[in-house]
Amino acid sequence: MRTVTRLAGFAVGLAAVFGTTYGIGRVVDRAPVVEGRHDGDGAHATDEHDETSDRLPGGLLVSDRGYTLEPVDAPADEFAFRIAGPDGQPVTRYDVAHDKQMHLIVARRDLSGFRHVHPELAADGTWRVDTPLAGAGLWRAFADFTPTGGEPLTLGVDVTVPGELTERPLPAPSTSTTVDGYTVTLTGSPQPGRTSPLTLTVSRGGQPVTDLEPYLGAYGHLVALRRGDMAYLHVHPDGTPGDGRTRPGPAVTFLAEVPSAGSYRLYLDFRHGGAVHTAEFTVVAGTPAAGTPAADAPPTGGDPSGPAPTGGADHGTPGHGHN
Ligand SMILES: [Cu+2]
């Protein structure tokens, strides 16, 4: 009984927060920069908004800048899609980025089941890959590519795999994880609105791994997905193999830009021993650095989901009266 009541209250709180933040603030503010809604020539542009900085994070849109991600019917053991270009025709020419013309990332909406694969392009513009969707659930598929003559894009589409749905809770934030016998530790704390270095350090059996193998043009490839909407963040490696300063481990540094406070799931792909391994972390962006006063947040401890929604929760604060 009590749980039900509390959940109901939580849902109402969320609705209120989203109504305010997204309904009024974000959507209206950002709508003018979503390409395709205006077929004008920029007459609507305002001087106050720099188009680049105003763009949404990647992966939230199925269609952006005239390009649309279109899933294609495929056998059950295959995933296939096309990218339709501004002329409505499938795009067949792509630039290589991070060693590939197309990066396909899939994850369930609960941020479990992450896979990063590289489909094959057919002459008619259809991309195909052995199905990366591992089991039932609500999946998001991200196509990360650069059409020749265009700019880099990440489009996202929902894909449902029927079956019994099991919601997996987001693992608690952690700075260390293990995968395939490797231990990976994370240092650095992403801060909203600025470029933050994140360093991942790989060891095995207590020994630092100093012979990581290049993978996708770097000693690691990092993807970050935001909890709540699966915004897909571009994270750039700091340095490339052979540049004279970047070592093949044990530390790999990335530069991450997170658009907001909140929880993110990080997925580090690294190659060692001829195989690609994926280490996963939950991080909370906007966590004050050590020594910084934590605003007026009470020391509740234990809620890994980040700052509580504000506005309405501060009853009882001295001096906060009602009219
Ligand atoms: Cu890739």
**What amino acid is encoded at 140 in this protein?**
R
Pair of tokens at residue 317: 């604060």
Q: Does 111 score more than 70 pLDDT?
A: yes
Q: Say how far apart CA 158 and CA 61 lie, in whole Å.
A: 10
Question: Which H helix or E strand runs over 6?
Answer: helix 2-18
Check residue 290 and give its pLDDT: 44
298 burial via Cβ count (<10 Å: 0-12, 13-18, 19+): exposed
Backbone angles phi, psi at 19, to 5 degrees: -55, -40
* 186 CA → ligand 1 middle, Å: 21
* 102 CA → ligand 1 middle, Å: 7
CB atoms within 10 A of CB 285: 22
* 98 CA → ligand 1 middle, Å: 7
Check residue 54 and give its pLDDT: 64
> Per-residue pLDDT averaged across 195-205, rounded?
95
- Does the bond joining 250 to the residue before it have cis omega, within 30 degrees of 0? yes
Query: Taken in order 122, 151, 117, 161, is the CA torsion positive or negative?
Result: negative
Confidence of residue 265 (pLDDT cuts 50, 70, 90): very high
Summarize pLDDT for 115-141 with one digit per residue, the tens: 999 999 999 999 999 988 988 999 999
Output b/e per residue, 173-202; b: 16+ Cβ within 10 A: beeebeeeebbbbbebbbbeeeebebebbb
State if pTM tops 0.75: no
What does pLDDT average to over the chain? 79
* 164 CA → ligand 1 middle, Å: 29
Confidence of residue 143 (pLDDT cuts 50, 70, 90): very high
Question: For residues 35 and 175, which has the higher predicted lDDT (pLDDT)?
Answer: 175
Check residue 105 and give its pLDDT: 96
CA separation, residue 173 to residues 42, 124, 187, 203, 258 (Å): 43, 44, 12, 20, 16
Q: Does 308 score more than 50 pLDDT?
A: no
* 247 CA → ligand 1 middle, Å: 21
Question: For residues 1 and 186, which has the higher predicted lDDT (pLDDT)?
Answer: 186
* 37 CA → ligand 1 middle, Å: 30
* 172 CA → ligand 1 middle, Å: 26
Q: Does 293 score more than 80 pLDDT?
A: no
Check residue 231 and give its pLDDT: 96
* 276 CA → ligand 1 middle, Å: 12
Check residue 229 and give its pLDDT: 96
| Percentage above 70 pLDDT, the chain | 72
Check residue 144 and give its pLDDT: 97
Q: Does 27 score more than 80 pLDDT?
A: no
